[in-house]
Amino acid sequence: MKVLLVGDFQYGSGMTVYMMNTYRQLSKSGVDVECLSYSGKRDFEKETDALGWPMHYVTRVGKNPIKHWIDWACFCKKHRNSYDIIHFNFSSSWNFLPVVFAHRFTKAKIVLQSHNTDYSKPIKSRALRIALDMVNGYGRRIFSKISDLKLGVSTESLSWMFGSDTHALVLKNGIDLSKFSFSEKARLSLRESLKVENSTWLVGMVGVLTERKNPFFSLKIFEELHTGHPNSHLVIIGSGELQGQLEQEVHAKNLESAVSFIKHTNVTNEWYAAFDILLFPSLFEGFGFVPLEAQAAGLQVISSDQIPTDVMLTNSIIGLTLSEPEIWIANVISYLHKLPVERKAISQRNIKLIDEAGYSIVSSAATLQQVFKRLLIQQGGRNDAQQEKN
């Protein structure tokens, strides 16, 4: 089975975390993988090269839409017979032409997977929102009509991309649970690297620094915490368009010594161990890998109530309204005053609950492979007569 994996392939993207986690597992089972990035980023080029996965690129649609669509049309014509399946991973359906080209010019089965519950960036202009909603709605109908398999990371994400289509399937976002087991060694080592004591309240935020992730809200909550409890420190892991503004805000509030920025790290799992609490105030999410991983590490998560309920698998996470930051502050302080807690025991308990709920990478990847096999067996190859006509 040969699959073209299509996605953003950029640091900080939950979609990319999903794709890399899942396909590393699938490749162990003999699935032949190639990749295509539409983000314009080459963040994962070294990693895909090391895995033996050829990586292809198209012009980013936001940079030059016409060139983006021409690149896609040429790619699909060139690779007409190259793949059994083309697995598109999208956040919305307005850019539907690449899927149309894949359907028209290749013999591959078309799999569409939804990773969000709104556009990647909040739309502030009412006129732009109306126009984009119209195009997105048309794309939703196209997706439902020409895709061979419709997937989503949550029930909410399915509704966003496919409407009321009853043939869409929720595919659980699995993680490598053993990787996120709490480590006291990692906790002490990373705190030492920050030059903070084990008694310091270490608050974490993890994610790409965009408006959707609501990072200024996290900074506001931390500022209130730090005012009353100076022995506290905030670690922001991630990069993005708002990083410069966040750094300026930290400087303006004289919090430089209490806030650390980490653009990218391959040991987020270890940072979960170092943290005492995680803030996750997203405006919306298709799923939410970070809070799932944090729960596996036995870390308390304070999240917005805008993330899918599928993520809330343990009592180590609560969802709060973003309209009342004072409730966030009260919950953060209340929890931190209860430290220390038995993180190792909580982590082991949470891992068991997450595994039983079907969110281990082994089970989720196996499910996807079974779904792919059924798709190829039940439907067979695309109608050759239709392909010749095209």
pLDDT in tens, 94-106: 999 999 999 999 9
Q: Which residues pair with 232 in a beta bridge?
A: 201
Residues 368, 235, single domain; the answer is no
**89 token code pair:** 């991973």
Residues 130, 37, single domain; the answer is yes
Residues 39, 181, single domain; the answer is no
Q: Which amino acid is at 244?
A: G
Residues 166, 24, single domain; the answer is yes
Tell me the C-alpha distance between 298 and 291, whole Å: 11
Nearest to 7 by CA among 110, 91, 116: 91
Peptide bond into 340 cis (omega under 30): yes
Structural domain of 246: 177-356
CATH code at 317?
Answer: 3.40.50.2000
Residues 303, 380, single domain; the answer is no
Instruction: Provide the whole-model pTM.
Output: 0.84
Question: Which residue, chain included where needed, has tokens 């359907």?
Answer: 103
Residues 106, 254, single domain; the answer is no
- For the chain, which ranges sit under pLDDT 50? 381, 383-390
Residues 205, 331, single domain; the answer is yes
Beta strand 85-90 pairing with 201-206:
unpaired
Residues 150, 241, single domain; the answer is no
Q: In what order do the strands lie in the sheet with 201-206?
A: 259-262, 232-237, 201-206, 277-280, 300-304, 317-320
**290 token code pair:** 């970070």
The answer to whether 38 and 48 are in contact (CB under 8 A) is no
Residue 264: per-residue pLDDT: 85
Dihedral angle sign, alpha carbons of residues 309, 312, 315, 316 = negative
Residues 19, 168, single domain; the answer is yes
Residues 126, 53, single domain; the answer is yes
Residue 163: per-residue pLDDT: 86
Q: What is the tally of structural domains in the chain?
A: 2
Length of the chain in terms of residues written: 390
Residue 325: per-residue pLDDT: 97
Nearest to 375 by CA among 150, 139, 143, 90: 150
Residues 151, 13, single domain; the answer is yes
pLDDT digits (tens, 9 = 90+) for 248-300: 999 999 999 999 999 889 899 999 999 999 999 999 998 889 999 999 999 99
Report which secondary-structure segment, H or E, holds 34: strand 32-37
Residue 385: per-residue pLDDT: 36
Residue 379: per-residue pLDDT: 58
Residues 296, 275, single domain; the answer is yes
Tell me the C-alpha distance between 129 and 134, whole Å: 9
Tell me the C-alpha distance between 25 and 125, whole Å: 42
Terminal alpha carbon distance of the chain: 24
